[in-house]
Homo-oligomer: A and B are copies of this chain.
């Protein structure tokens, strides 16, 4: 993994990937699968939807830290596995053979098998809407991967894999933030 400039980290979330959120509650690591995320600004800050019904929420609320890890399309069945069990009774890193890697700033782990990892601090919890506001503090990208496509959950049990990438950088130039 190599460091990715924070000015580019919003491009990891903007396309709408399936995301793993890792947490460390003081005793153990945990990870959940979510798709309900969005970019808030180019800092970057991100929003995600979760709340008290969710086991990982306790660690997020207590530690105010997490990592957003982006699995490649080759990890689809692990995405489904992680999304259908709970950290309340399962050590998901062990069960799914994921490798926790110490992060640079937060206590939550990076995931070695992922395409990218974003270390985040919780800056606010908008409880009336179950929105968690995160600020990225470090980003890491894996290099030399054969599988670089991400997954998009539809929400009905099907998942779309990235297809072709179309370049409109020239036409979009006036709207791109600095450093991208």
Please give the residue numbers on chain A whose beta carbons come within 8 Å of chain B beta carbons, in ascending order.
8, 10-11, 14-17, 35-41, 45, 47-49, 76-77, 80-81, 83-84, 124, 126, 128-131, 133, 149, 152-176, 180
Q: Of the candidates B133, B164, B171, which one forms a contact with A129 in the assembled complex, judged by CB atoms under 8 Å apart?
A: B133
Dominant SS at the A interface?
mixed
**Does B130 contact A76, Cβ atoms closer than 8 Å?**
no
Q: Of the candidates B155, B162, B164, which one forms a contact with A10 in the assembled complex, judged by CB atoms under 8 Å apart?
A: B155
**Does A84 contact B126, Cβ atoms closer than 8 Å?**
no
Q: Of the candidates B8, B10, B84, B160, which one forms a contact with A175 in the assembled complex, judged by CB atoms under 8 Å apart?
A: B84
Q: Report how far A174 CA is from B126 CA in the complex, Å.
A: 28
A108 to chain B, nearest CB (A): 21
**Does B149 contact A163, Cβ atoms closer than 8 Å?**
yes
29 contacts between A and B (CB under 8 A): A10-B155, A11-B154, A11-B155, A14-B153, A15-B35, A16-B16, A16-B17, A36-B38, A36-B39, A38-B47, A39-B155, A40-B129, A40-B131, A45-B129, A47-B47, A47-B129, A76-B168, A77-B168, A81-B171, A126-B126, A126-B131, A152-B162, A155-B176, A156-B169, A156-B180, A157-B169, A157-B180, A159-B165, A159-B166
